[in-house]
Amino acid sequence: MSGVPGVRVAAEAAILSCGLVLASLAYRAYRNTESAALGLVTVGFCLVSLGAVAGVALPFVAPVEIALGLTVQNVLTAVGLAVLVYSLRVSKTGIDTGSGPV
């Protein structure tokens, strides 16, 4: 049981680093294309990455229960994934209604 916190911290660090790499790549693509969808992808990956940090760091930097840190992590991850899903529906002219060829 003593190795579990170390594995959790390592997993959160991997999520954070991969999420930030994906966010930076999406941001570079957004700057090149000015696509609203890529801007939302950037925000989504930033929220997911921030959730990984919040779950581990919040109980250490603020006097809160670990359960609150995990709740904040889950909320940020859920919102980030929702933004990513929404970004798949956004087109350059607005919301893609799904009518017409893909």
Q: Which helix (H) or strand (E) holds 1?
A: none
Q: Does residue 1 surpass a pLDDT of 50?
A: no
Tell me: the pLDDT tens digits for 49-93?
Answer: 998 888 778 878 888 888 888 898 899 999 999 999 999 887 655
Share above pLDDT 70 across residues of the chain, in percent, rounded to a whole number: 84
pTM of the model: 0.77
Euclidean distance between CA atoms 99 and 41, whole angstroms: 22
59: tokens are: 């109980």
C-alpha distances (whole Å) from 45 to each of 12, 35, 97, 101 are 14, 16, 24, 28
Q: Write down the pLDDT at residue 60.
A: 80
Closest among 49, 47, 40 to 21, alpha carbons compared: 49
